[in-house]
A and B are shown apart, each in its own frame.
Chain A
Amino acid sequence: MDWKALFGFASLPKPEFIKMYEKSLERKIPGSKPVSELGFLVLDTETTGLDTKRDHVLSYGAVQVNHNRIRVSTSRELYLRPKKRNREAIKVHGLVGERPFVSREQLIRSFLDDAQQKILVGHHVGFDLAMMERVGRSFGFRKVKNPALDTYDLAVRLDKGKFYDPRAVVSRDYSLDQLCDRFGIAADDRHTAAGDAFLTAQLLVKLLKIADKKGIRTYGDLMG
């Protein structure tokens, strides 16, 4: 007798797309795979705030990079109807007016479908992934388990070497704005999730070229 099920404590059966995602994680990327053959999903979220416990995702943007090419055809821009409209966030992000909103299920499904076999990339990607986990929680999604690459960390590492002292880094110098400026990326669509994801993708392809010159050529080199 499944008591939990009897009293309604058990979570609902996991939707198929989550199962598919989790199954995909069983296949690991070999460490010797060349960076040029890796698939990346570059993403960004806009949220009501910076608190991963209380704030919510407003929108999600992503684009895939593989073989060093930004695939515009894979670009996503999805808006989630916010539970509580945080007026401050709306002011910052300018998310007013009608948007083609999607449900939370559609959003997490799109993300998990795209994320399979990918290295997830973002600027301070940990925050975005935590927020995405929040979106997926009520569907039984627990944790993003893909390998993740933070363009912030990568940029710092390429400047200061693998074993840098985080306290010695002036984090302001490695903001997305600053890095775009430094690498000559025209930062037009700041503060939209897709816009930032696009900028981050451009940053990624440039950083990977520099990494290549510094001898970072394989998946193992990149993530190690």
Chain B
Amino acid sequence: MANVIVNRVIDFLKNFPPFSFLSAELLAQVAQEVDLVYYEKGEFLFQKGEPAKSYFFVVKEGAIKLTDHIEEKEETVEICDEGDVFGVLALLGKRPYILDAIADEPSLIIAVPVGIFEKVLEENNKVSLYFASGFASGQVVVRSGLSQTQKVRALFGGKANHYGLMLFSGQTSIQYSHPVIHCHTGNNIAEAVEKMSRGKVGSIIIVDENKHPRGIITDKDLRNRLIAQNLPYDTPVEKIMSHPVVTAGKDLEFSQVYLNMVKHRLHHLVFTEDGSADSPLLGIISDHDILLSQGNSPAVLIKALQESHDIHELAKLRNQAEGMLKYFLENELAIDFIAGILTEINDTLIRQAIAMARARHEANFPEVRDMQFCFLALGSEGRGEQLLRTDLDNAIVYEDVSEELKEKAQDYMHLLARDVMDILFACGFLSCPAEMMANNPRWCQPLSQWKDYFSQWIREPDPQSLMMATIFFDFRAVSGKQALAEALTQHVYEAISQGKLFLNFFAKNALLNPPPLGFFRNFMVEKSGKHAEKFDIKLRAMMPLADAARVLILSHQVVGINNTFKRYEKLAELEPQQAALYRDAGKAYEIFMRIRALEGLSTDSSGRFIQPDSLSKLQRQLLKNAFFPIDEIQKILKVRFQLDYFGN
């Protein structure tokens, strides 16, 4: 039976993973066998190269520093504090330690014998997953670990899946309806309708003799293209069917499929054997199927936004999106999916605002009303990763007009920009403190002026230019004439290839925010000011990764990928030798986005400043693990752009 002393150990361990996953009985067995060891500041627990001891460690009080020696230089890899588990190499067989462990302050350490824990590892798969995914400190298995980490998060999240989103969460295959109601080319409408009616469905697929989908007829088509046109019922189906059909492969992720449908405003998506239209029909999914399963769906929201022309209505809908975001986050949906949906919602809102502004002003500008312009999203919105309604960064580029129309064009564009901004502010977005917004005349300019801006930033990469570049280089066309944005991109690459040194400066700039690894205890927190003692996740974790991704993707001359995590995905593809690191960096970025968004929602803020204490142990460890790729990525920049030899 456990005595007071054992209970004391149990009471401590049970608060911390992996011990928190053990049954009371098993935990008591473990606690019974531990030793408590006291170390004075500066004492070594173990040293690099020493064979692994027969126990691993948990910090009970104090702090332990894990350090590495690289070329005679001591480098702190991690600081473990209360509840942190380290020295777990002992569990992985008798391999020598790869780091030094030194008491950073007087510390009481629990030494857990490996023997007892091996049994636990066998019996409890959560615990083995915990170790496998590199949650324990100083493991340096992080590279392959982050994707595993995400799995673990879902596992430990423990939130019951809500019915509404069962469709999404954890679903990897697609639940399309099959067998599909279909008829053949050459059938007539009466035959098709008879089948639809019997199958109680609102659509029918038309296939050819090979069962390849050729078109689709819906209730709406019957109404609009048959009855309204006064066509007879023996009209061949080909005559009124919609074609070609949009097809997808059966092995697509559900969320991907859904995102596709939302993006392309599809009502039906047809699945075929190999995903192409020239392949046998497998099934069909309709937006209706999805709507039925969830009242608060993005598709509904986007549709409502598209149909609304009232500023209050838009604001209300945009507020609703916030609730949906929370729902998505809590249900651990993939970040690229969440970001995709939110970006689409924001873009729709902007398009709607532009349409409203145009309707209001174009009558007063008959000479320039048809001129081309493009609304650009910048910064995080430009990267399509703005989850919360934080600062707006945007701009307008319009076509160059003749000298006499110049002023008119400018006035018209400014008015549009002003109105669009007002609508966005009303919808809860915040003004950019640096006024990098389209309603600032400086950022509402014709293409030629924009080209001059970019040329100047690239030609004279002083700190100011580089700061501008970090925001403006992520531009993305949201609405209007895409070609204007493409011309600008083209210009940027030409200018960069002429001013080669720019990328070196840009890379150096990306190193301005070192990774938060030198942190005391857990995180490098702000030293003073309003956010003292808080961790700035944007500055310390997200910006270094976003900046690095931008530089690297520019150096590869890749066009059209703005998402930081998608940029890393692309980089992994372009540089297979670094693929693992890039994938981890992308995963890390997603983790930061998620944590920041959750923090922002729960504190009704930008989520940028995080109180380390407010995070659960698991979240803190997750965050700490996610810091690792930052350092590695920055090393790549240093080497690739020779920044050590590159003066100021």
Q: Name A's B-contacting residues (CB within 8 A).
A: 61, 63, 68-73, 75-77, 100, 184, 186, 188-189, 192, 194-195, 197-198, 201-202, 205-206, 209, 213
A68 touches B38 (CB 8 A): yes
A72 touches B61 (CB 8 A): no
- Chain A interface helix/strand/loop/mixed: mixed
Contacts of A73 in B (CB 8 A): 32-35
In the bound complex, what is the Cα–Cα distance between A197 and B33 (angstroms)? 18
A75 touches B5 (CB 8 A): yes
Contacts of B228 in A (CB 8 A): none
What is the CB-to-nearest-CB distance from B619 to chain A, in angstroms, rounded to a whole number?
A: 25
A70 touches B3 (CB 8 A): no
Q: Name B's A-contacting residues (CB within 8 A).
A: 1, 3-6, 8-9, 31-38, 40, 61, 106, 108, 111
A189 touches B8 (CB 8 A): yes
What is the CB-to-nearest-CB distance from B235 to chain A, in angstroms, rounded to a whole number?
A: 85
What is the CB-to-nearest-CB distance from A90 to chain B, in angstroms, rounded to a whole number?
A: 17
Given contacts A69-B111, A209-B40, contact A192 B4 (CB under 8 A): yes
A184 touches B40 (CB 8 A): no
B1 touches A72 (CB 8 A): no
Contacts of B34 in A (CB 8 A): 72-73
Q: Which of B1, B8, B37, B61 contacts A184 (CB 8 A)?
A: B61
Given contacts A184-B61, A202-B108, A206-B106, contact A72 B36 (CB under 8 A): yes
In the bound complex, what is the Cα–Cα distance between A188 and B38 (angstroms)? 18
A–B Cβ pairs within 8 angstroms, 11 of them: A63-B5, A68-B37, A72-B5, A75-B5, A76-B3, A189-B4, A194-B4, A194-B5, A202-B108, A205-B38, A213-B40
Q: Which of B5, B33, B36, B111 contacts A195 (CB 8 A)?
A: B5
A198 touches B35 (CB 8 A): no
B8 touches A197 (CB 8 A): no
In the bound complex, what is the Cα–Cα distance between A200 and B343 (angstroms)? 61
What is the CB-to-nearest-CB distance from B29 to chain A, in angstroms, rounded to a whole number?
A: 11
In the bound complex, what is the Cα–Cα distance between A198 and B33 (angstroms)? 15
Contacts of A192 in B (CB 8 A): 4
In the bound complex, what is the Cα–Cα distance between A192 and B4 (angstroms)? 8
In the bound complex, what is the Cα–Cα distance between A68 and B38 (angstroms)? 7
Smallest Cβ-Cβ distance to B7: which chain A residue: A189
Given contacts A69-B111, A72-B31, contact A195 B38 (CB under 8 A): no
Contacts of B108 in A (CB 8 A): 202
Q: Which of B1, B5, B37 contacts A100 (CB 8 A)?
A: B1
Q: Which of A61, A70, A186 contacts B36 (CB 8 A)?
A: A70
Most A CB contacts (10 A, CB to CB) among B4, B31, B32, B35 go to: B4
B38 touches A202 (CB 8 A): yes
Contacts of A61 in B (CB 8 A): 3-5
Q: Beyond the given A61-B4, A206-B106, could you list 12 further A-B residue pairs with CB under 8 A, ordered by the A residue number?
A: A61-B3, A69-B111, A70-B36, A72-B36, A73-B35, A189-B8, A195-B4, A195-B5, A198-B5, A202-B36, A202-B38, A206-B38
In the bound complex, what is the Cα–Cα distance between A195 and B5 (angstroms)? 6
Smallest Cβ-Cβ distance to A198: which chain B residue: B5
A194 touches B3 (CB 8 A): yes
Smallest Cβ-Cβ distance to B12: which chain A residue: A186
What is the CB-to-nearest-CB distance from B38 to chain A, in angstroms, rounded to a whole number?
A: 4
Contacts of B33 in A (CB 8 A): 72-73
Contacts of B36 in A (CB 8 A): 69-70, 72, 201-202, 205
In the bound complex, what is the Cα–Cα distance between A161 and B38 (angstroms)? 23
Contacts of B106 in A (CB 8 A): 184, 206
B38 touches A75 (CB 8 A): no
B35 touches A69 (CB 8 A): yes
What is the CB-to-nearest-CB distance from B133 to chain A, in angstroms, rounded to a whole number?
A: 28
Q: Would you list the 10 A-B pairs with minimal beta carbon distance, nearest first?
A: A77-B3, A70-B36, A75-B5, A194-B4, A205-B38, A69-B35, A198-B5, A195-B4, A209-B40, A69-B37
Most A CB contacts (10 A, CB to CB) among B8, B34, B111 go to: B8
In the bound complex, what is the Cα–Cα distance between A205 and B108 (angstroms)? 10
B35 touches A72 (CB 8 A): yes
Contacts of A72 in B (CB 8 A): 5-6, 9, 31-36
Smallest Cβ-Cβ distance to B62: which chain A residue: A184
What is the CB-to-nearest-CB distance from B468 to chain A, in angstroms, rounded to a whole number?
A: 51
Most A CB contacts (10 A, CB to CB) among B31, B36, B108 go to: B36
Contacts of B3 in A (CB 8 A): 61, 75-77, 194
B37 touches A195 (CB 8 A): no
Contacts of A209 in B (CB 8 A): 38, 40
Q: Which of B6, B37, B111 contacts A75 (CB 8 A)?
A: B6
In the bound complex, what is the Cα–Cα distance between A49 and B356 (angstroms)? 88
Contacts of A201 in B (CB 8 A): 36
Most A CB contacts (10 A, CB to CB) among B3, B33, B34, B106 go to: B3
Smallest Cβ-Cβ distance to A209: which chain B residue: B40
B38 touches A198 (CB 8 A): no
Q: Which of B31, B35, B40 contacts A71 (CB 8 A)?
A: B35
In the bound complex, what is the Cα–Cα distance between A69 and B33 (angstroms)? 12
What is the CB-to-nearest-CB distance from B238 to chain A, in angstroms, rounded to a whole number?
A: 81
In the bound complex, what is the Cα–Cα distance between A63 and B36 (angstroms)? 11
Smallest Cβ-Cβ distance to B31: which chain A residue: A72
Given contacts A69-B111, A72-B36, contact A77 B9 (CB under 8 A): no
What is the CB-to-nearest-CB distance from A101 to chain B, in angstroms, rounded to a whole number?
A: 13
B5 touches A77 (CB 8 A): yes
Contacts of B8 in A (CB 8 A): 188-189, 195, 198
What is the CB-to-nearest-CB distance from A36 to chain B, in angstroms, rounded to a whole number?
A: 12
What is the CB-to-nearest-CB distance from B598 to chain A, in angstroms, rounded to a whole number?
A: 32
In the bound complex, what is the Cα–Cα distance between A189 and B301 (angstroms)? 58
In the bound complex, what is the Cα–Cα distance between A73 and B1 (angstroms)? 12
Smallest Cβ-Cβ distance to B4: which chain A residue: A194
In the bound complex, what is the Cα–Cα distance between A77 and B3 (angstroms)? 6
In the bound complex, what is the Cα–Cα distance between A69 and B39 (angstroms)? 10
Contacts of B4 in A (CB 8 A): 61, 77, 189, 192, 194-195, 198
Smallest Cβ-Cβ distance to A189: which chain B residue: B4
Smallest Cβ-Cβ distance to B35: which chain A residue: A69
What is the CB-to-nearest-CB distance from A66 to chain B, in angstroms, rounded to a whole number?
A: 9
Smallest Cβ-Cβ distance to A193: which chain B residue: B4
Contacts of B31 in A (CB 8 A): 72
Smallest Cβ-Cβ distance to A212: which chain B residue: B40
What is the CB-to-nearest-CB distance from B47 to chain A, in angstroms, rounded to a whole number?
A: 17
What is the CB-to-nearest-CB distance from B40 to chain A, in angstroms, rounded to a whole number?
A: 5
Smallest Cβ-Cβ distance to A70: which chain B residue: B36
What is the CB-to-nearest-CB distance from B19 to chain A, in angstroms, rounded to a whole number?
A: 14
Most B CB contacts (10 A, CB to CB) among A71, A72, A194, A198 go to: A72
A197 touches B35 (CB 8 A): no
In the bound complex, what is the Cα–Cα distance between A77 and B7 (angstroms)? 11
In the bound complex, what is the Cα–Cα distance between A100 and B3 (angstroms)? 11
Smallest Cβ-Cβ distance to B1: which chain A residue: A100
Smallest Cβ-Cβ distance to A197: which chain B residue: B5
